Amino acid sequence: MHDTRPWLDFSYEELTIELCKDGVKPVHAKALWRALHGQGLRDLKNCDSFLPPLQKWISDKTEQGWFVDDPEVVQETHSSDGLTRKYLLRLRDGQTIETVLMGYDGRHTVCVSTQVGCAMGCVFCATGQAGFTRQLRTGEILAQVLHVQRVLRKDGKRDLRNLVLMGMGEPLHNYDAVMKALATLADKRGCSLSRHRMTISTVGLVPAIHRMAAEKCPYNLAVSLHGSNESARAALIPVAKKWPLDQLIEACRVYDRSIGKSIFIEWTLIAGKNDTDEVAYELAALLKGINVHINLIPLNPTQGFSGHASGHHDAIRFQKILRAAGYPCTFRQRRGIDVGAGCGQLREVVKNRATGKAELREPRNPLKGIAIEP
């Protein structure tokens, strides 16, 4: 029977069960897990460090069609300062996703996609404009991290510190696959990334935020708010009608109480729409009593949205009002990043008519990009 299974989709416990099913000692799971998640091996068949029973088992499974997710790099774009690298990765079914590696002060952050496309339809977001194609599996989420770790290792670096789910897609709309991937990344026997350095960015899926709070998931939570009242928010985020603002704010309160960490509020600044003094005061009032850090993101222009990024002075004024109200408030913009690093503009991926190949469209952001760092 042909039974194709992705190795990276398994949890440690599931791998152990698979070994047992075939009469192989469960102790072998450790070496296999280390090879997959610690060393990021893509070809398990020729791994000399495996003991013969494990080697034989892997060889049988490979014959059956079990595979390691290993997306092909379709395109790689570097910022001129070399600090940001953006990868367009092709999955087994031909779909493409984007992963971004950012390095500052000797530390690296990876920005990962969780879906092909997105169903939430935010009007200013290229991913939302293009709609939803499919969920990513756990292994496809992990493969992005393993890819950048291989890149870093090649450069003699081992300092991947932060992970942000701010790429293509809405992570909480793919809850189980995402949580399984994060748990795998945190596993000390493999990748061993700190859960405290992982950030889940959501457009505000209220039931999922409550679930995270109840499950005491210790991740950083970033909530993309963009509007300070119901109608302003719904104009930018259609899905906001489903989960009204008061419910979202309440969910943030619950998360804050349950996890006890600052929530990042993501605010994409759009000229004349959500960057005025009135909006800043309304936002300050809305967030009262919640432990938040506000991140202001300059709007990156996209084909399907006619809005413009806020001017420098308006953006600074907006920030000042929030700071005066007592909120930590920073810009996500960093110098020298010119690869269109705004995750969420992932549909800058275009098809080259001549070659038929997917390509990254050149960035058009006059503000020279965004760095995403919790």
Tell which one of 54, 89, 101, 125 touches ligand SF4 (CB under 6 A).
Answer: 125
The contact mask relative to ligand SF4 for 186-205 (x = CB under 6 A, - = no) is: -----------------x--
Interaction between residue 221 and ligand SF4 (CB under 6 A): no
Interaction between residue 166 and ligand SAH (CB under 6 A): yes
Using CB under 6 A, count the residues that bind ligand SF4: 12
From the candidates 329, 343, 348, 373, give the one annotated as an active-site residue: 343
Our answer to whether residue 20 is catalytic in this structure is: no
CB-wise, 203 or 337, nearer to ligand SF4? Answer: 203
DSSP code string of 283-321: HHHHTTTS-EEEEEEEPPP-TT----BPPHHHHHHHHHH
Q: Name the minimum Å distance from CB 363 to ligand SAH.
A: 11
Interaction between residue 307 and ligand SAH (CB under 6 A): no
* Residue the block writes with tokens 């879906």: 115
Stretch binding ligand SAH (CB under 6 A), from 175-183, 199-207, 316-324, 347-355 = 199-207
Q: H or E stretch including 345?
A: none
Our answer to whether residue 359 is catalytic in this structure is: no
- Which residues lie closer than 8 Å to 42 by C-beta, 6 or more apart? 68, 70
CB-wise, 53 or 244, nearer to ligand SF4? Answer: 244
Tell which one of 103, 117, 190, 344 touches ligand SAH (CB under 6 A).
Answer: 344
Amino acid identity at 265: I
Burial of 257 (0-12, 13-18, 19+ CB in 10 A): exposed
Interaction between residue 299 and ligand SF4 (CB under 6 A): no
DSSP code string of 141-203: HHHHHHHHHHHHHHTT---EEEEEE-SSS-GGGGHHHHHHHHHHHH-TTTT---GGGEEEEES
Tell which one of 103, 128, 190, 227 touches ligand SF4 (CB under 6 A).
Answer: 128
CB atoms within 10 A of CB 76: 14
Amino acid identity at 49: S
Q: What angle do CA 168, 221, 274 make, to 5 degrees?
A: 75
Amino acid identity at 330: T
Interaction between residue 122 and ligand SF4 (CB under 6 A): yes
Distance CA 47, CA 284 (A): 56
Residue number with the smallest Cβ distance to ligand SAH: 344
CB-wise, 19 or 283, nearer to ligand SF4? Answer: 283
By DSSP bridging, strand 263-269 and strand 220-224 are: parallel
- The footprint of ligand SAH (CB under 6 A) covers 124-125, 166, 170, 201-203, 224, 266, 268, 297, 299-300, 302, 342-345
- The footprint of ligand SF4 (CB under 6 A) covers 118, 120-122, 125, 127-128, 169-170, 203, 224, 344
Active centre residues (catalytic): 98, 343
